[in-house]
Structure 1
Amino acid sequence: MSKPKNRVRKWILTGLTLSLLIPTLAACNTSKGKDADVRRTLRIGTMYGSKQDESYFRQQFTDMFEFTHSNIDIEVVPAIDYSEQQFEDQSKQMEQPNPLEKVKAIMTGTNPVDVMIFDMSMLSQLVNESLLKQLDPMIKEEKIDTNEFVTTVIEGIKDQGNGFLYALTPTFTPSALYYNKKLFSKAGVEVPHDGMSWDDVFNLAKRMKKGTGKDAVFGFSFNQWGAGDNYWDVQNYAAPLQLKMFDNKGETMTVNTPQWEAVWKTVTDLYKDHVTPHQEDMQYDQPQDGKMRYNPFQGQLFLNGKVAMTVGDYNMINQIQQMNDNSDKLKIEKLDWDVVSMPFHVGHEGVGGSIYLNNLSGINAKAANPDDAWEFVKFMNGKEWAKLKSRSTYEMSARKEFVKARDGMSYNVEAFTKMKPAPLLQSSAEEQKLYRDKPNLNMVSELGSRAYSEVIQGKKSVKEALTQWETKGNDLLQKIKLNPKGQIDGVFDDVYGGEGNIPMEKRAVMEAAGEG
């Protein structure tokens, strides 16, 4: 580990722009009394990393804390060290490590980490395993006002913590519904507004659809690229509904239901009615004068004025700004846009998908140094650190004070803060255990993807596809019951006929053997 003075020199050389803020941050050093001069080590766990390359993580999370807490040394401990994996034999490289088991190992071993930094997918698992210390008592004692944080962020964390706070995050990555103001004005249709249901959005999208070929305008797309045939977009759309693919034992399929049918029919009808664009519509996003020119936004139908509304994350603003700033060079029209909150499913008001809480920090229940661990979590989520992180162009500050539109831009920035994250799949302790015990259950979703593809291709109705998924899925679940972790062959061979539907890896082998 490098000496403290080397880290100070690094910050002097690379962080001069922070000089005006340093006195404020230095005042946050709360080491007091007899402990002020005692050197201590704070062990911080990460989901992934490498001991040989910690610089990025330290710049993002720990360097400033060490600078302002000169008697504390930080040791970074990755749960999964990807640099070590590359030296394993090929068979072990193919095995994907279990993130939860790896995290548990560094939190419960002989020298446990004090702080754990992780993403939202891990929070409920750590809470259910009683691995994290509840933060509510310390927050109350320190008189930290959680009302200063974005409400939906705090509520989202509580939802995964059984109503309590076991972690905090300085930033989050929200999504919103972007819309093209010019297209709505030209069509004489009222623009979207905050608090719309998915039904409202789809009805609006149908009114905005017009034209064909190169003159076509599409009402909506589930992503900024445009094509409406992506199975994973459907999964994200349906996430707040928490539809289950199989029962709690992982032995019986539960997809052939009116709820599943309604979701699939809604989305595939939009595709069939050409309210959402098709893959072939991407070709019209080409220069019509026959002259080839570089356009880094080519293929993104919303950015190029071909889609009236789309779901996009916070980072999409960067692309819009960059495109508009260079519109003259690209010889394209500037995008006149705004955003509204993510739509909701009726009965699930206030919940929107595609909102991610990253960089959560929690205190290990077995921390050897819990006081400094809390000091770090408090620092990482304090106002001073939030001010620095608010400069991010791809994440939004979790503190209300720093939720502002970008300099020189005007848009409905509050739209990004109105919706809670959708509950994660495999969020309950029982579901998590089921997938750990039977990792082959992940194959069931692939069956669903292929069934959905047949609906898109017009080969089957939604009902027929779901019935097939149910039948093939039940057969697969019985095989998984007998072989929960080992390789299962022939699962997809007889599901879809035709060479085009042969799994990619199998098709590659056939071609290599001269059979393709």
Structure 2
Amino acid sequence: MKKKSTFGSMMRKGAALCLSLTLMGSLLAACSKGDGDSSAEKRVLRIGFVYSSPDNEQYLRQLYTDGYELLHPELDIQIVGAVNYDDMRFQEQEEGKPNTQPDPYKNLTEMLNGKNPVDVVVLDSNSSYLKRLVQDNMLKQLDPLIQENEFDIEDFVPAVIDGIKEAGDNSIYALTPTFNSSALYYNKKIFTDMGVAPPTDDMMWEDVLAKAKLVSKGEGAKRTFGLSFGRWGGDPFWDMQNSYLPALQLKVYDDKGEKMTVNSPQWAKVFTTMSSIYKEKIVPTSQDINSGMDEPGNGKRVFNPYQGDLFINGRVAMTIGGYDYVTELTRAKDQNAKNSKIPSVDWDVVTMPQHTDNPGIGGNVYLSSLMGINAKASNSEDAWNFIAFNNGKEWAKLKSRSMYEMVSRKSMLKLREGQDFNIEAFYKLKPVPPSSTDTEKLYREKPGIDEARYIGQQLFQEVIEGKKTTENALKEWETKGNAILKKIKDNPNGTLNPIEGNVSTQVYAE
């Protein structure tokens, strides 16, 4: 009963807060408009998203427009989606035919060029779309507006501005209030106990892997691993794809999806380097993680809410994680102070390892909400004011409370009370430039094309197990992959059949 009363109290407080904010908005509007005619027709500001639906419009409004609309009652803000989730959800599948998917970029351009075009477009971390829209002259360059309005751009994190300029041919065509990033977390105690200097910012992959080998020790469920590519470990092939390869920008097949590109010296170096750290058990596999789930003792499972997270359990010296992992590590520390059975770790963080062939570039930097102005906007003035508001210092101060993403303004990137870690590690490096390959178009026009990628998964595992050499594995990947690409080219709507002995990989049937 007490719980219900508390909930009711919270609801009443929330209602009171909403009423107060509404009244504040009315007062602000009155101050700005004086005794003008309240019945005057509202100006319309249309804001477009790549994906939307009636169900999630309220969420988008809460995230992007409610704060602005509160201060601008003279505006009628309309939400538009290039692709409607409901159209995809309720699409009827015709027997024997592939399920057709909408072309997001085509729909996006129609939303920008149609009879009633949107004024603002929000791209939701897809910087490849930003690059294409700039190349197709569909966005308004923001540099003149930034200068004319003396909008403070110097306070933005360099990595964010660099990523935006990379997509805009060294000009600014969009701004984002938030971004996400990954960094390299490390266990201070492991390095101290082993007498090995901990990792630092701006290290190369070769040096990080060398340190990982130095601090790996032990056997079985008691082994300490030097590095993991994520909290939970996983398949070696996908670990490599998601963490090691992005900054190298190596491709599996060409931009047309007609020829494999894996049989190359660059891929050979990757296979050799990555397979060696799995062979030497420098990096844990899913089997290693599962083997330590039940601790020896009296036959009972030991209480541990972080089972499977080897870094928090002190069995991994370094791990790659996103900014949101800070929240989990802080929570573990707080709970450990209350109950010593809950594991905790003394940690810090440094920049993602870099490749000598591509220094200064860090993988896994996502520009969360890229906002640009349609070149054909009918209300470009309000469009700029909306973007300036969402990317201003006042709004960044509120957004900085988030525990799952970072604000783009340096002045608002501050440690919370009780925290002490190298926060700059998350934004010191430049993001990976947009790829020249339109992967969404390839997946749409050639369903199943990624089956050519999946073949590498089994072959890489065979290299790790010593069943194949890197040279032979890459040749086989090239041959089998080219066969799949040819079948897809000859028969794009063909059906998929499993390859014998590998249920996770499929090929096209004639």
Pairwise same-fold verdict (TM > 0.5): yes
> 325, 328, 331: which is aligned to 1:319?
328
Q: 2 CA distance for matches of 1:440 and 1:277? A: 30
- Taking structure 1 as reference, are residues 125 and 448 closer, same or farther at Cα in structure 2, changes over 3 Å only? farther
Q: 2 CA distance for matches of 1:482 and 1:82? A: 31
Q: 2 CA distance for matches of 1:185 and 1:33? A: 70
Aligned to 1:147: 154
- Taking structure 1 as reference, are residues 278 and 415 closer, same or farther at Cα in structure 2, changes over 3 Å only? same
Q: Is the deviation greater in 180-189 or in 287-296? A: 287-296
Task: Give the counterpart letter for 1:169 in structure 2.
Answer: T
8 Å contact kept, 1:123–1:161: yes
- Cα deviation, 1:123-154, whole Å, max 9, x if unaligned, reads 21222232211111111111123211001110
Identity %: 44
Q: Is the deviation greater in 437-446 or in 354-363? A: 437-446
Q: 2 CA distance for matches of 1:63 and 1:469? A: 51
> 341, 344, 365: which is aligned to 1:331?
341
The alignment status of 1:86 with 2:89, answered yes or no, reads yes
The alignment status of 1:353 with 2:353, answered yes or no, reads no
> 125, 130, 139: which is aligned to 1:123?
130
8 Å contact kept, 1:234–1:264: no
Q: Is the deviation greater in 62-71 or in 228-237? A: 228-237
Q: Equivalent residue of 2:174, what SS?
A: coil
Aligned to 2:401: 391
8 Å contact kept, 2:294–2:302: no
8 Å contact kept, 1:226–1:307: no
Aligned to 1:509: none
Task: Give the counterpart letter for 2:183 in structure 1.
Answer: A
Cα shift at 1:445: 1.9
Q: Equivalent residue of 1:308, what SS?
A: strand
> 451, 462, 466: which is aligned to 2:459?
451
Aligned to 1:5: none
Q: 2 CA distance for matches of 1:132 and 1:447? A: 40
Aligned to 2:278: 271
Question: How many residues are matched?
Answer: 486
The alignment status of 1:103 with 2:108, answered yes or no, reads yes
Aligned to 2:45: 42
Would you identify which runs of 4 or more consecutive aligned residues in structure 1 move more than 4 Å? Answer: 9-12, 14-19, 29-38, 431-440
Cα shift at 1:436: 5.9
8 Å contact kept, 1:42–1:73: yes
Q: 1 CA distance for matches of 2:33 and 2:494? A: 54
8 Å contact kept, 1:240–1:348: yes
8 Å contact kept, 1:176–1:339: yes
Q: 2 CA distance for matches of 1:469 and 1:488? A: 21
Aligned to 1:209: 216
Q: Equivalent residue of 1:59, what SS?
A: helix
Question: What is the correspondence of 1:240-279 to structure 2 with a 5 Å cutoff?
Answer: 240-279=247-286
Aligned to 1:511: none
Question: What is the correspondence of 1:325-474 to structure 2 with a 5 Å cutoff?
Answer: 325-327=334-336, 328-329=338-339, 331-425=341-435, 427=436, 437-438=445-446, 440-474=448-482
> 295, 302, 320: which is aligned to 2:304?
295
Cα shift at 1:232: 4.7
Q: 2 CA distance for matches of 1:40 and 1:287? A: 65
- Taking structure 1 as reference, are residues 199 and 14 closer, same or farther at Cα in structure 2, changes over 3 Å only? farther
- Taking structure 1 as reference, are residues 442 and 104 closer, same or farther at Cα in structure 2, changes over 3 Å only? farther
Q: 1 CA distance for matches of 2:389 and 2:239? A: 37
8 Å contact kept, 2:123–2:371: yes
Q: Equivalent residue of 1:351, what SS?
A: coil
- Cα deviation, 1:204-263, whole Å, max 9, x if unaligned, reads 001010111122100001111134624253343111112122344433322111100101
- Taking structure 1 as reference, are residues 221 and 140 closer, same or farther at Cα in structure 2, changes over 3 Å only? same
- Taking structure 1 as reference, are residues 247 and 78 closer, same or farther at Cα in structure 2, changes over 3 Å only? closer
8 Å contact kept, 2:182–2:352: yes
- Taking structure 1 as reference, are residues 253 and 53 closer, same or farther at Cα in structure 2, changes over 3 Å only? closer
8 Å contact kept, 1:195–1:343: yes
Q: Equivalent residue of 2:450, what SS?
A: helix
- Taking structure 1 as reference, are residues 369 and 221 closer, same or farther at Cα in structure 2, changes over 3 Å only? same
8 Å contact kept, 1:48–1:81: yes
> 309, 314, 317: which is aligned to 1:308?
317
8 Å contact kept, 1:228–1:276: no
Question: What is the correspondence of 1:50-65 to structure 2 with a 5 Å cutoff?
Answer: 50-65=53-68
- Taking structure 1 as reference, are residues 14 and 215 closer, same or farther at Cα in structure 2, changes over 3 Å only? farther
Q: 2 CA distance for matches of 1:480 and 1:128? A: 29
- Taking structure 1 as reference, are residues 159 and 370 closer, same or farther at Cα in structure 2, changes over 3 Å only? same
Q: Equivalent residue of 2:201, what SS?
A: coil
Aligned to 2:484: 476
- Cα deviation, 1:469-500, whole Å, max 9, x if unaligned, reads 111122222223323x413544x52xxx53xx
Q: Is the deviation greater in 394-403 or in 344-353? A: 344-353
Aligned to 2:4: none
Aligned to 2:6: none
Q: 2 CA distance for matches of 1:291 and 1:63? A: 52
Cα shift at 1:47: 1.9
- Cα deviation, 1:332-372, whole Å, max 9, x if unaligned, reads 33210000011110031110101111111111112121111
Aligned to 1:74: 77
Aligned to 1:513: none
- Cα deviation, 1:151-187, whole Å, max 9, x if unaligned, reads 1110011111111111110010011100001111111
8 Å contact kept, 2:332–2:343: no
- Taking structure 1 as reference, are residues 133 and 467 closer, same or farther at Cα in structure 2, changes over 3 Å only? same
Q: Is the deviation greater in 150-159 or in 104-113? A: 104-113
8 Å contact kept, 1:131–1:365: yes
Task: Give the counterpart letter for 1:324 in structure 2.
Answer: K
8 Å contact kept, 1:176–1:312: yes
Q: Equivalent residue of 1:473, what SS?
A: helix
8 Å contact kept, 1:240–1:353: yes
8 Å contact kept, 1:45–1:114: yes
The answer for unaligned runs of 5 or more in structure 2 is 1-10
Aligned to 1:514: none
The alignment status of 1:166 with 2:173, answered yes or no, reads yes
The answer for unaligned runs of 5 or more in structure 1 is 1-8, 507-516
